[in-house]
Structure 1
Amino acid sequence: MARVEFKNIVKVYEDEKRGSFTAVKGSSFVIEDREFVVFVGPSGCGKTTSLRMIAGLERQTSGDIRIGERVVNDLHPKDRDIAMVFQDYALYPHMTIAENLSFGLRNLKRPKDEIERKVKEASSILGLGDMLSRKPRELSGGQRQRVAVGRAIVRDPQVFLFDEPLSNLDAKLRIQMRVELAELHKRLGATIVYVTHDQVEAMTLGERIVVMNEGEIQQIASPTELYNKPNNMFVAGFIGSPAMNFIDARIGGGQALLAGGTAFPLPEAAARALGAYEGKPIVLGVRPEHIYGEAMAPDRAGSAKLEAHVQVVEQLGAESLVYFRVGERMVTARVHPELPVALGARQTFVLDAAKLHWFDPQTEQRIVF
């Protein structure tokens, strides 16, 4: 296996009608040997373009890409020692599963005994041993995706590249395949670069996550750090489901004055750190799971309270999602399902004072203290 390094990578697409478009804007990062790294972000953020540049399917406009000890800028994809799994399974329908798995090795003129050994190993790892004589049409979507992964495994590459491989599967199969991919990484000890637009998928699979937006890297961190210490409002709003709530506020006299008229005292450390914003706009961020109904709020939550009229309640069994408006923004609270909540009623909610985030409304950066 090998590490992957991007150094000041820029990708510009030229279009005669629309002019130039910069898809990746000076990315630099290192993916360590045997690490599982996930690129995540909305459509058009540059994540798939970055993956394709590692594979050699796209040529960077400037900068260097290194795989292992080699700069691979000028290497053909087949010479980069990578294997890629696409969103589309891309299996040969007229071939058996065994033939699909061995196709790449046969093209490379590998010895027959080596091909048989590697196909047997890959099929055993992926639970395909009793399906080798079948054709792709006889398999489920999840089984076909396993074959696509197996075709990459038999190559024994330095780096595995996954381009949204689960997006064609239904919700139940996606969960199952996430577990299987995580276990596969542990068994192979492989360097894996994985692209998805699904932040839940990113959080459950990645040892580190690269969050991208509009061609720029917003933050590279572990799932826990992204959740607890987002760099900015984009990361805070993208990571977490439901998304983090943002509430317009001002700081005054050691209090947070929220849009809509509610105010609550700030803890001493927060009051000191936010003193520079006295009388100025600021954005309060709070995750839905850190908002409680007053009747069920833990003692540690503190005295950060607000009142609002309940507009919608989604009862999901193990929890309820309660929606209400604070100023111009809709806020979501994830509360205990037994909390008495009535539509249209004015309800008191408690924000966990230790879990609040504060953002500069101009730069959208999190204020660290």
Structure 2
Amino acid sequence: MARVVFDNIRKEYEDEKRGNFTAVAGSSFTIEDKEFVVFVGPSGCGKTTSLRMIAGLEKQTSGDIMIGDRIVNHLHPKDRDIAMVFQDYALYPHMTIRENLSFGLKNLKRPTAEIEQKVGAASAILGLDDMLERKPRELSGGQRQRVAVGRAIVRDPQVFLFDEPLSNLDAKLRIQMRVELSELHKRLGATIVYVTHDQVEAMTLGERIVVMNKGVIQQIAPPTELYNNPSNMFVAGFIGSPAMNFIDAVIEGGKAVVGGGRSFDLPAHVVQGLRAYEGKPVVLGIRPEHIFGEDFALHVPHDHKLAAAVQVIENLGSENLVYFRVGERTVTAKVHPETSATIGQLKTFVLDLSKAHFFDPASEERILF
């Protein structure tokens, strides 16, 4: 296996209507040997373009890409020693599973004994032994995706590239395949670069996550770091389900004043960190699980209370999502399922502001203190 290096990579497209369009704007990062890295972001953010540039399916406008010790800028995909797994499986329908798995190796004119050994090993790892003589149409979506992964494994590449491979599967199969891919990475000790738009998938699979938006890398960090210390409002709002709440506030005399004139005392270190924002607006960010119905806020100080009319309640069984408004913003609270709340009710909520973040409304960057 090998590391992958992006050195100031830029990708521009020419568009007759919009002129030049920048898909990736000066990205630099290193994916270490045997690391599982996930690219995540909304459609059009540049994540798939980045993956395709690693594969050699797209040519960067400027910058260098390294795989292992080689700069691969001018190498064809077949010469980069990578294997790619696509969203649509891309299996040959007229071939058996055994033939699909061995096809690439036969094209490379590998010895028959080597092909049989590698196909047998991949089949055993992925649980395909009893399916080898079937055709793709006889398999489920999850089984077909396993075959696509197996076809990559037999090539024994330096880097595995996955382009939204679970998008066509139902929710239950996606969870199962996430577990299988995570176990596969541990077993193979492979370098894996994985693209998805699903932040839950990214959080559960990635050792590190590259969050992108509009061609720009917003943050690169392990899942817990992204969740607990987002660098800006985009990352804070994209990572986490439900998303982080944003509440407009003004800092006045060591307090955060929010919609309706409700003010919250702030810890001394927060007051110190927000000195430059005295009398100015900020955005208070707080995750839904840090907002409690007053009747079940058992382990949180009741210093920061907020009364608001309940708009919507989503009963999820193990928890309820309660929606209400603070100023112009809709806020979500993830509360205990036995929390008493009815639509239209004026409900008192307790905010755990020890877990809150503050953002500059102009730059949308997190205020560090």
How does the TM-score come out when normalised to structure 2?
A: 0.99
Give the match's secondary structure for 1:220.
strand
What amino acid sits opposite 1:36 in the alignment?
F
Alignment of 1:311-350 (within 5 A): 311-350=311-350
Q: Which moved more, 1:9-18 or 1:228-237?
A: 9-18
1:368 corresponds in structure 2 to 368
What amino acid sits opposite 1:342 in the alignment?
T
1:324-355 Cα deviation digits (max 9, x unpaired): 00001100000000111121111111111210
**Structure 1: distance between partners of 2:355 and 2:46:** 31
**Structure 2: distance between partners of 1:321 and 1:16:** 46
1:152 corresponds in structure 2 to 152
1:44-74 Cα deviation digits (max 9, x unpaired): 0000000000000000000000000000000
8 Å Cα contact 1:301-1:353 kept in structure 2? no
1:168-217 Cα deviation digits (max 9, x unpaired): 00001000000000000000000000000000000000000000000000
**Structure 2: distance between partners of 1:113 and 1:290:** 59
Give the match's secondary structure for 2:260.
coil
1:94 corresponds in structure 2 to 94
Alignment of 1:201-220 (within 5 A): 201-220=201-220
Give the match's secondary structure for 1:260.
helix
Give the match's secondary structure for 2:231.
coil
Instruction: Give how far 1:115 is off.
Output: 0.2
Instruction: Give how far 1:302 is off.
Output: 5.1
Q: Which moved more, 1:296-305 or 1:272-281?
A: 296-305
Instruction: Give how far 1:281 is off.
Output: 0.5
8 Å Cα contact 1:262-1:307 kept in structure 2? no
**Structure 1: distance between partners of 2:335 and 2:58:** 47
Taking a change above 3 Å as real, the CA distance of residues 5 and 301 of structure 1, as seen in their structure-2 partners, is: farther
Q: Which moved more, 1:347-356 or 1:11-20?
A: 11-20
Give the match's secondary structure for 1:114.
helix
How does the TM-score come out when normalised to structure 1?
A: 0.99
Q: Which moved more, 1:311-320 or 1:156-165?
A: 311-320
**Structure 1: distance between partners of 2:320 and 2:20:** 47
2:119 corresponds in structure 1 to 119
2:273 corresponds in structure 1 to 273
**Structure 2: distance between partners of 1:304 and 1:33:** 47
1:357 corresponds in structure 2 to 357
1:61 corresponds in structure 2 to 61
1:196 corresponds in structure 2 to 196
What amino acid sits opposite 1:352 in the alignment?
D
What amino acid sits opposite 1:271 in the alignment?
V
**Structure 2: distance between partners of 1:365 and 1:244:** 14
8 Å Cα contact 1:301-1:354 kept in structure 2? no
What amino acid sits opposite 1:50 in the alignment?
S
8 Å Cα contact 1:85-1:161 kept in structure 2? yes
Runs of 4+ off more than 4 Å: none
8 Å Cα contact 1:2-1:159 kept in structure 2? yes
**Structure 2: distance between partners of 1:19 and 1:331:** 39
1:95-124 Cα deviation digits (max 9, x unpaired): 000000000000000000000000000000
**Structure 1: distance between partners of 2:302 and 2:159:** 48
What amino acid sits opposite 2:47 in the alignment?
K
Structure 1 unaligned blocks of 5 or more: none
Give the match's secondary structure for 1:313.
strand
What amino acid sits opposite 1:26 in the alignment?
G
**Structure 2: distance between partners of 1:266 and 1:160:** 48
**Structure 1: distance between partners of 2:304 and 2:31:** 41
What amino acid sits opposite 1:57 in the alignment?
L
The number of aligned residues is 369
**Structure 2: distance between partners of 1:315 and 1:3:** 45
Give the match's secondary structure for 2:101.
helix
Query: Kindly, what percent of the aligned residue pairs are identical?
Result: 78
What amino acid sits opposite 2:260 in the alignment?
G
**Structure 1: distance between partners of 2:196 and 2:225:** 19
8 Å Cα contact 2:286-2:353 kept in structure 1? no
1:181 corresponds in structure 2 to 181
**Structure 2: distance between partners of 1:305 and 1:188:** 51
Instruction: Give how far 1:301 is off.
Output: 4.0
Instruction: Give how far 1:313 is off.
Output: 0.7
1:143 corresponds in structure 2 to 143
Structure 2 unaligned blocks of 5 or more: none
What RMSD in Å do the two structures reach over aligned CA positions?
0.8
2:257 corresponds in structure 1 to 257
**Structure 2: distance between partners of 1:58 and 1:163:** 14
What amino acid sits opposite 1:324 in the alignment?
F
**Structure 1: distance between partners of 2:359 and 2:304:** 17
